[in-house]
Amino acid sequence: MFNNSKNQKAVPIILFRTLVGFNTRLIRYLVPLFLIFLTWNEYFYGLLFSVAGYLATGVIIGLGYITDVKKRKYTLIAGIGISALAMLLFYFASMSEIKGWMIAAYSLFGVSGQLAQISLTTLMADVTPTKKEKTRFFGYMAFFWNLAGVIAPLLGGVFLTLFNLFQSQKQSYLSLMLFVSVFLFLTMLLAFKFPIPETSKESASEIAKGEEWKSYENKSKKPIGFQLVAFFVCEAIIGFTSGIAVPFIQYYIITDFNTSDILWSVILAASNIGIAVGSLLMAKISDRFGNEKSLAVLHFLVPPLALGLALGGTLWTVAIFFVTRSTSVNMTRPAWNSFFYGWLPPKYRGTSTGFVGAGRRLSRSLGTQAGSFIYVALGPLTFPIATLGYPIAIMIPIIMQKFLKNKKKDIEEPQIITSDDERI
């Protein structure tokens, strides 16, 4: 898998992506269960996730810029450390059940997680020279991230089940929060000692081979800007539609089917197994069909799978569609990252990631807030209607790339003039 010195630079990046992913997935498993246990209604449930998104939107471009001008290793360490502090604050706020403090602490956790994530993804983009290698190594990163997503909810389910035997259910939730905070703190300490690569922007530019930005960087940066706007619009549409649907898919499965903590952990684990395996297969799929075609097909599958989820009727039918839908859209991340970073010069990758991420975060927060009301009105039919945005969104950067490439080709092709001054 990692058979030369260049590829081995990716190993510590993947390791810390996995450790961060373990904690993130554990929180994603824990928080919805805890809020439902506290009998938060749809409005406050949606508010916690939307406010976290709004705050992240307000600072994410700045976070991306910081990773461009500072060493990404240290922005990674800062992100992990602040996440540990945020989870500790969430623990204390949860003891008193003060909604405002819980929302504030969870929002800080979301912001710091974005700083760590931008640092890791831009580092991986820097150390992988070609589009093919980017897809492959982002696939490895996604595989281990989702492997952590298999282990985390299962471990969380076992943890809660065992601790419920000798303490109250609320105390079990609080104990798991404290565990996450301590684990994040230990991960931060490990990052100080671990040989995380720190590729300069200049060396990253030199090793890049065949990436789209190299054709434009020294001539005109406008095509790069146009493509970045197309990525922004795509992510904003997906953010809004997923904000309406995804948080309430979890709410629907847990509340409508009275799903236990341990059973919900099994469903989440199955979903992450699907994404992990799909992420590994993505490199081969992309090699055969191309990144853009693969992205389009898998995004077009999302609405019909969401319809199956809404009409499933039984927990197991709904769970199957949940796992399949989640796999279809999330296994595309390696191909998306390869497509996205292939258009971005290394010196702008953090800022550009923050810019596009801000669009997704803001629109997702707006979507979640709107979803609080839409879900009450439409119920599970919200899911297929909302996810119609996925196939529309993915075609925007694909069409923009095709347009820019065709325009560049037309400009570069010499025009043959006949004696009658006709262009042929």
- With a CB cutoff of 8 Å and minimum separation 6, the contacts of 304 are 384
User: What pLDDT is attached to residue 3?
Assistant: 52
User: What pLDDT is attached to residue 423?
Assistant: 30
Give the range among 56-65, 103-112, 130-139 with minimum mean pLDDT: 56-65
Domain residue extents for the chain: 9-194+202-406
3-state SS record for 139-176: HHHHHHHHHHHHHHHHHHHHHHHHHCCCCCHHHHHHHH
- What is the tens place of the pLDDT at every residue in 135-180? 888 888 889 988 888 888 888 888 888 888 888 888 999 999 999 9
Question: Could you tell me if 67 and 118 are in contact, meaning their C-beta atoms sit under 8 angstroms apart?
Answer: yes
Give the residue from 229, 205, 227 showing the smallest Cα distance to 218. Answer: 205
pLDDT at 414 over 60: no
- Across 213-227, 281-295, 296-310, 347-361, the highest mean pLDDT is recorded for 296-310
Q: How confident is the model at residue 116 (pLDDT cuts 50, 70, 90)?
A: confident
10 Å CB burial of residue 1 (0-12, 13-18, 19+) is exposed
Q: What is the pTM of this model?
A: 0.74
Mean pLDDT across the stretch 36-53? 78
State percent of the chain over pLDDT 90.
Answer: 29
- With a CB cutoff of 8 Å and minimum separation 6, the contacts of 316 are none
User: What pLDDT is attached to residue 84?
Assistant: 93
Q: Give CA–CA dist 97/94, Å, rounded.
A: 5
Question: Could you tell me if 327 and 274 are in contact, meaning their C-beta atoms sit under 8 angstroms apart?
Answer: yes
Q: Give CA–CA dist 291/201, Å, rounded.
A: 25
- What is the tens place of the pLDDT at every residue in 369-387? 888 889 989 999 999 999 9
Mean pLDDT across the stretch 275-282? 90
417 secondary structure, DSSP code: B
User: What pLDDT is attached to residue 418?
Assistant: 43
Domain 9-194+202-406 has CATH 1.20.1250.20: yes
Q: Give CA–CA dist 219/159, Å, rounded.
A: 57
Between 67 and 358, the higher pLDDT residue: 358
Q: How confident is the model at residue 83 (pLDDT cuts 50, 70, 90)?
A: very high
pLDDT at 238 over 90: yes
Mean pLDDT of the chain: 83
State percent of the chain over pLDDT 70.
Answer: 86
